[in-house]
Amino acid sequence: MRTERVLRCWTTNCFIWIPIFAGAVAFASDTENQDREVGAFLTFGVTLAGIEEGGRVFGPIQFLPLEHPASAGHDFPNPPRFHQAEVDILVHLGEKIGLGLQATLTRYPDPPTDQWPYPVFAPPPLEAVRVADVKRVSTGSTIPGLRVVAIQDGFPLAFIVDTRDISLKERGMARATAMGLDMTRQEFLDGLRESCRAVPPEGTWILVYPSGARQGPLSERVRAELMQVWNDDYRTPQDYVVDKFRDNNWVFLGEYHRIRHDVELVSSLIPRLHETTDVRHLALEFLCQDHTGAANRLITAPEYEPARTIEFFRKQFAGWPYREYLKIFEEAWASNQNSGTKRGVFRLVGLHPCIDWELIHYGADEDARQQERKRQLRYDEIMAEVLEASVLEPGLKTLVFTGIAHATAKYTEYVFGTDEPLMRMGNLVYKEPYRSDMFFIALHAPFWDSSQETDIYPFDGAIDRLMRGFGRDVGFDVVGTPFESLLHERTGRYSITWHRFGELYDGYIAFRTPIKEFVGVTCIENWIEDEADFRQYWRNLSNEKASQAFSRMPFEQFKKEFCRPRPDHGVEFRRRFRNLPNLD
């Protein structure tokens, strides 16, 4: 009789290993004398585990019979390569619990094979799993961290285990392991078998267990520690941003887009920075790089010309008719009038690559269209190149204002289904010799739940609950404070990791207005004055379907309806967040 071995993978250094845990097993028992029916399925799955140093392990295993050559005597053998159906099933299971596994699975250790390597076993029943019924249970799982199991006629076909942020005590462990569990092969298989009892013995099912890694309500101790950060070092958002330029040359503000108080904050910072600091530049995603010179001529002219500025702005961003973004130009002009002579001229830097959407949608020259599409695909690269050449290399102290995706440097996404990093502007410029003089601030807004395709409260509503008792707009450090360890379950469509606050941003600005009551920016009513404006508008929209729809709309109808309340501006903006739950 073979003695069961215990898997204990101790971490020995800070190198982060990224394995995959795919598994195959004939499941009636795990003895060497078991008779196996030819054509039986294998069990495979993935584990995600956090090691002591904070690294993450993504690990596949195949539960092949121990006498199989591919097992090499290991209790939890790594698969030499995934079969495509295994990848597709695991991706499908991951979607049920909010994990995007495609990018990682297809790059470990080689692209998946279409050749099934185990002739004595049947290939995974992909189509049956895709249409399987889903059963969600509220009780704990049979294995610590077990999140989802695909079950075929009472047999555990595939699984995902995630032990991140489940305490060692809850796992019955005294020390951390690279796998995240300390179980024998038989114990693990018994746990999977036990999970099958939760569904009928016939048919294909997907069993989903609740996550063990949710932030949950803050304890009174943690709540007090976080509130102490705000009370002991209280700074308004304006004061906070200005203060950050004492030790940094470049401060990045990342916004959700079209939230009114975010844009108004940036406008209010221009005179403060101009009068009290050495900052003389504001770099914007909302200004085309090729039009930087023209924009600076507008804001240094003797007179401010609203109509001319609207026309200038409209020709760059036909689909961005928002008064608060245009107000940035007026505030820069006013600041130059008041402080330009004695403090030096305040200038704007355009980062937008100037995409010609009319050419992309309606251009007759196919080569020219393809060249413009290539520029579109290099959006973040072009912004990074402009920022480096215009601001970073000359060493000009600058406030950088973009959408939060472009202002993120510490977290990297991946192009879906590949191992290619989806590099954003922030990632590209966050390098030596600049990175030590950079500071990244996020403006409070919802995060995106890719599993439910909806907005959710960041950090399980922790900041929003704190703000109900604090009641003041506040800017605060994340890194180096108790806020650093706040946990958020998901951060984006491509993420397979849990994120802590300090892994995302250096600082944060929160507002006393609850997210459900956020108000959007307002429409510029005279954005479209005549049919020529209207034609220029719809031919230059980035959304091709919207462009084509407007092309068929009579101008008078469009003009009548253009500035009516809609979800992305005005007081109706809050409808975007209408599905957010009420905080307890």
Nearest to 243, CA basis, from 282, 269, 280, 281: 269
- 152's tokens: 């075929």
pLDDT digit string, tens, across residues 114-123: 889 888 899 9
When pLDDT is averaged across residues 161-169 and rounded to a whole number, the result is: 78
Does residue 110 sit in the same domain as residue 132? yes
Q: Is residue 157 domain-resident?
A: yes
Could you count the other beta carbons within 10 Å of the beta carbon of residue 454? 12
pLDDT digit string, tens, across residues 267-309: 999 999 999 999 999 999 999 999 999 999 999 999 999 999 9
| Element spanning 226, H or E | helix 220-232
The structure tokens 């994120």 sit at 499
Does residue 191 sit in the same domain as residue 246? no
**If you ran DSSP here, which 8-state letter would residue 523 be given?**
B
Does residue 191 sit in the same domain as residue 260? no
Q: Is residue 19 domain-resident?
A: no
Q: How many angstroms separate the CA atoms of 171 and 236, rounded?
A: 43
Q: Is residue 581 domain-resident?
A: no
Q: Is residue 436 domain-resident?
A: yes
User: Which of 517, 546, 574 is the last residue in one of the domains?
Assistant: 517
Q: Is pLDDT at 378 greater than 90 in this prediction?
A: yes
pLDDT digit string, tens, across residues 522-566: 889 899 999 999 999 999 999 999 999 999 999 999 998 888 765
Q: How many angstroms separate the CA atoms of 361 and 377, rounded?
A: 15
When pLDDT is averaged across residues 460-468 and rounded to a whole number, the result is: 91
Q: What is the pLDDT of residue 56?
A: 47
Q: How many angstroms separate the CA atoms of 433 and 392, rounded?
A: 9
The structure tokens 């990175």 sit at 435
Does residue 536 sit in the same domain as residue 459? no
Could you count the other beta carbons within 10 Å of the beta carbon of residue 579? 11
Does residue 498 sit in the same domain as residue 543? no
Residue range of the domain that includes 54:
44-208
Does residue 196 sit in the same domain as residue 283? no
Q: How many helices (H) and strands (E) does the chain have?
A: 18, 19
Does residue 403 sit in the same domain as residue 268? yes
Angle between helices 237-244 and 260-276 (to 10 degrees): 50
Evaluate whether 88 touches 157 at the Cβ level (below 8 Å): no
Q: Which of 22-26, 178-182, 314-318 has the lowest mean pLDDT?
A: 22-26
Evaluate whether 108 touches 20 at the Cβ level (below 8 Å): yes
Q: How many angstroms separate the CA atoms of 349 and 477, rounded?
A: 27
Give the CA diameter of the chain: 93
Q: Is pLDDT at 506 greater than 60 in this prediction?
A: yes
The single-letter code of the amino acid at 335 is: S
Q: Which of 179-193, 325-339, 480-494 has the lowest mean pLDDT?
A: 480-494
Q: What is the pTM of this model?
A: 0.68
Domain count, the chain: 3
- 171's tokens: 């796992």
Q: Which residues contact 52 (CB under 8 A, 6 or more apart)?
A: 11, 176
Q: Is residue 572 domain-resident?
A: no
Let me know if 76 is exposed, middle or buried by CB neighbors in 10 A (0-12, 13-18, 19+): buried
Q: Which residues contact 432 (CB under 8 A, 6 or more apart)?
A: none
Q: How many angstroms separate the CA atoms of 4 and 408, rounded?
A: 47
When pLDDT is averaged across residues 506-510 and rounded to a whole number, the result is: 98
- 295's tokens: 């924009």
Average pLDDT, the chain: 84
Nearest to 424, CA basis, from 468, 393, 378: 378
Q: Which residues contact 390 (CB under 8 A, 6 or more apart)?
A: 283, 292, 349, 396
Does residue 325 sit in the same domain as residue 398? yes
Q: Is residue 112 domain-resident?
A: yes
Let me know if 14 is exposed, middle or buried by CB neighbors in 10 A (0-12, 13-18, 19+): exposed
Does residue 196 sit in the same domain as residue 305? no
Q: Is pLDDT at 15 greater than 70 in this prediction?
A: no
Q: Is residue 524 domain-resident?
A: no
| CA 125 and chain centroid, separation | 32
CATH number where 432 lies: 3.40.50.11550
When pLDDT is averaged across residues 213-233 and rounded to a whole number, the result is: 82
Nearest to 214, CA basis, from 400, 462, 450, 453: 462
Does residue 262 sit in the same domain as residue 285? yes
Q: Is residue 575 domain-resident?
A: no
Does residue 432 sit in the same domain as residue 547? no
Q: Is pLDDT at 1 greater than 80 in this prediction?
A: no
User: Which of 482, 497, 517 is the last residue in one of the domains?
Assistant: 517
Does residue 192 sit in the same domain as residue 236? no
Q: How many angstroms separate the CA atoms of 463 and 460, rounded?
A: 8
Q: What is the pLDDT of residue 449?
A: 65
Nearest to 446, CA basis, from 304, 262, 199, 263: 262
